[in-house]
């Protein structure tokens, strides 16, 4: 049984965050996993930016004298079947992974939020049409539908990204729609309608700012899913093509040498796990701070 | 309740129609002439034209769609180009393998995730809970393709405990099922923990404690029963995702199932088979969604629409 909480007196001490989201920022700072995630994500961004400085070799440089060497001081993660330094490839892979993840999430959010706004604000047949569309896309596990699309438009990293973006916007649309439906009935929206504000101006100026925090949380939770889908498809050979140092693609190249050189496939996998975990932790912290209700 | 379920059922019809349209359009847009592909490079233009007419490829798009849909409704997904067999036969032959795999993964999820979630909720904020929560996050972040390769490396190559690929013995299912199920153990145990914490905060739980019932009785007799309903629904929704994950896991372990069949059909551009598998997976999502609603309505008498 939970004891009744004592009323606590908040005393302002030292520097504190001010501004519109001060309580959320304070709550986020207390969230251990969330802060860990933030630090990890910032580190990953730093690694991506500084890749040319960190990586000891160019990612595509082949050295036939050091084929499939185990990890050593010279080659931290060993070398692959073409004598390339796996560490350098994994470091450069960070650039690709973050670019894929962020681009995908921005496109997904743009499509999803637009559809959610229209669907929730106008209701009626617009809502019915878009809701059915959301249900249809929701019915496919992302990887499966993306595979179908890639079969049609051909394998390449760009096509994989188009495929994933086209199908993964549904959660943004659903969350936005629900939120807009509850906002639409509020007095200040009705007041601006009375003042003669156009639907577009109401949507952009009064509703959009209110749905952004929820969508930000959703974006940080969806980014790892998008990243995993993209590298799964690269792993299957339908996305990034060799010699691109995309993590899924490196893993796939190393699969043939699993017995002799397991390090080729091990390290890019660890990089994926760390990245996905970093964003999951960050998303968890943001959710606790901004929107404890969505799971 | 019958009315509610009927309404849900009727609402899922436009979704299923949308799914068939989407699957048809995606592969309709694929480059290459199916008639030419069936005949191969040695087909003369006259033969190709004749086959196009026979297959109805010269008809308007919408007519082709209706024709395909008619076939789907009667269980005819078209002719596989690579195997020269009906696509339906190919898929139904491989289906039992995938179902065995998915079912094993579900058993794994239930056996691991539910006890972990309940334990974490009962001892919430203890060190054990924090450790288990971090562990769940870790499993949840594992890419299934990497997990599959690591399991293969450790248990098949290094330790030689389990077969590296194929099917036929019960041992062969273990590694694929682990690769498919473990990431979901993370998700489900987190969900179970959250639901259980919600229920443990309810008044009737306090009443049960107050009237002197043992904690075990309260936690497992009263709380768990009510917290389980959303988990069961979630498990229903997980099944189509497992079918999707099977594409990767089956391909890695060379396990015969519809996932690996889909992968091979994409490589050989065997569009009718790809279309059929896409359709089966998407339709099963809609059906399992409905089943989930049905089970919720059965388990939770408060739901009356």
Task: Reply yes or no on whether the pLDDT at B60 is more than 70.
Answer: yes
Residue-level pLDDT at A16: 53
Residue-level pLDDT at A1: 44
A295–B141: do the CB atoms touch at under 8 Å?
Answer: no
Residue-level pLDDT at B110: 93
Residues of chain B contacting A133 with CB distance shorter than 8 Å = 18
Segment B97-118 mean pLDDT:
92
B149–A265: do the CB atoms touch at under 8 Å?
Answer: yes
Instruction: Give B20→chain A minimum CA distance, Å.
Output: 9
Residues of chain B contacting A145 with CB distance shorter than 8 Å = 22, 26, 278, 282
Interface mutation vs chain A, best among B26, B223, B285, most A CBs within 10 Å: B26
Residue-level pLDDT at A18: 63
Closest to A181 in 3D by CA, of A218, A210, A221, A205: A210
pLDDT, mean of each 10-residue run, chain A (295 residues): 52 55 80 87 93 86 81 83 87 92 93 93 89 88 87 88 89 90 83 83 84 87 89 89 88 85 89 91 85 55
Contact by Cβ (8 Å): B217, B205: no
Task: Reply yes or no on whether the pLDDT at B236 is more than 50.
Answer: yes
Contact by Cβ (8 Å): A179, A185: no
Segment B91-120 mean pLDDT:
92
Task: Reply yes or no on whether the pLDDT at B302 is more than 70.
Answer: no
pLDDT mean across residues, chain A: 84
Task: Reply yes or no on whether the pLDDT at B305 is more than 70.
Answer: no
ipTM of the complex: 0.83
| pTM (2 d.p.) | 0.84
A19-67 confidence digits (pLDDT tens): 677 778 887 888 788 888 999 999 999 999 998 888 888 888 888 887 8
Residues of chain B contacting A139 with CB distance shorter than 8 Å = 15, 19, 240, 282-283, 285-286
A262–B153: do the CB atoms touch at under 8 Å?
Answer: yes
A258–B194: do the CB atoms touch at under 8 Å?
Answer: no
A135–B282: do the CB atoms touch at under 8 Å?
Answer: no
Interface mutation vs chain B, best among A137, A151, A171, A253, most B CBs within 10 Å: A151
B143–A276: do the CB atoms touch at under 8 Å?
Answer: yes
Residue-level pLDDT at B304: 53
Residue-level pLDDT at A13: 47
Give the end-to-end CA distance of chain A in Å, rounded to a whole number: 25
B194–A295: do the CB atoms touch at under 8 Å?
Answer: yes
The residue among A211 and B54 whose pLDDT is bigger is A211
Question: At B1, is the pLDDT very low, low, confident or very high (cuts 50, 70, 90)?
Answer: low
pLDDT mean across residues, chain B: 85
Return the percentage of chain B with pLDDT > 70, whole number: 98
Segment B209-234 mean pLDDT:
83
A219-249 confidence digits (pLDDT tens): 988 898 899 989 999 999 888 888 888 998 8
B146–A141: do the CB atoms touch at under 8 Å?
Answer: no
Task: Reply yes or no on whether the pLDDT at B41 is more than 90.
Answer: no
């Amino acid at each position: 049984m939970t004891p009744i909480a004592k009323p606590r007196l908040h005393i302002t001490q030292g520097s504190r965050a001010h501004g519109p989201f001060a309580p959320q920022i304070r709550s986020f700072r207390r969230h251990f996993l969330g802060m860990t995630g933030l630090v990890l994500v910032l580190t990953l961004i730093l690694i991506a930016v500084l890749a040319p400085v960190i990586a000891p070799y160019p990612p595509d440089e082949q050295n036939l004298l050091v084929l499939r060497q185990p990890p050593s001081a010279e080659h931290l993660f060993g070398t692959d079947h073409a004598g390339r330094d796996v560490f350098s490839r994994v470091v450069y892979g960070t650039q690709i992974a973050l670019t894929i993840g962020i681009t995908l999430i921005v496109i997904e959010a743009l499509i999803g939020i637009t559809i959610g706004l229209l669907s929730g604000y106008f209701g009626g047949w617009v809502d019915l049409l878009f809701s059915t569309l959301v249900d249809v896309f929701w019915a496919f596990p992302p990887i499966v539908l993306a595979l179908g699309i890639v079969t049609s438009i051909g394998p390449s990293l760009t096509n994989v990204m188009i495929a994933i973006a086209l199908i993964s916007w549904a959660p943004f649309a659903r969350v936005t729609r629900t939120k807009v439906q509850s906002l639409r009935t509020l007095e200040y929206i009705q007041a601006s309608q009375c003042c003669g504000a156009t639907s577009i101006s109401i949507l952009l100026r009064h509703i959009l700012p209110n749905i952004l925090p929820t969508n930000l949380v959703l974006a940080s939770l969806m980014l790892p899913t998008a990243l995993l889908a993209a590298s799964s498809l690269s792993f299957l050979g339908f996305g990034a093509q060799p010699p691109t140092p995309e993590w899924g693609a490196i893993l796939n190249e190393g699969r043939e040498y699993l017995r002799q050189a397991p390090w080729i496939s091990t390290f890019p996998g660890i990089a994926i796990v760390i990245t996905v975990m970093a964003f999951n932790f960050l998303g968890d912290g943001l959710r606790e701070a901004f929107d404890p209700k969505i799971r | 309740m019958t009315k509610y379920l009927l309404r849900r059922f009727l609402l899922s019809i436009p979704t299923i129609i949308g799914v068939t349209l989407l699957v048809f359009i995606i592969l309709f847009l694929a480059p290459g002439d199916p008639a030419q592909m069936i005949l191969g490079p040695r087909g003369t233009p006259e033969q190709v034209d004749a086959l196009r007419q026979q297959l109805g490829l010269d008809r308007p798009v919408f007519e082709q769609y209706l024709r395909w849909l008619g076939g789907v409704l009667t269980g005819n997904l078209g002719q596989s180009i690579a195997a020269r067999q009906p696509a339906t036969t190919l898929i139904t032959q491989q289906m039992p393998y995938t179902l065995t795999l998915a079912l094993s993964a579900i058993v794994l999820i239930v056996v691991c995730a539910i006890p972990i979630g309940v334990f974490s909720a009962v001892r919430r904020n203890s060190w054990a809970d924090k450790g288990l929560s971090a562990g769940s996050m870790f499993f949840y972040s594992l890419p299934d393709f990497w997990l599959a390769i690591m399991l293969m490396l450790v248990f098949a190559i290094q330790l030689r405990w389990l077969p590296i690929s194929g099917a036929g013995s019960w041992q062969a299912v273990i590694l694929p099922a682990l690769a498919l199920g473990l990431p979901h153990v993370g998700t489900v145990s987190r969900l179970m923990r959250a639901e259980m914490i919600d229920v443990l905060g309810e008044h009737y739980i306090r009443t049960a404690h107050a009237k002197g019932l043992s904690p075990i009785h309260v936690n497992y007799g009263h709380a768990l029963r009510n917290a389980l309903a959303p988990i069961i629904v979630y498990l229903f929704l997980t099944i189509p995702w497992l079918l999707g994950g099977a594409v990767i896991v089956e391909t890695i372990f060379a396990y015969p199932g519809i996932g690996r069949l889909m992968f091979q059909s994409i490589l050989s551009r065997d569009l009718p088979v790809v279309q059929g598998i896409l359709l089966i997976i998407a339709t099963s999502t809609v059906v399992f969604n409905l089943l989930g609603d049905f089970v919720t309505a059965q388990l939770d008498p408060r739901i009356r629409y």
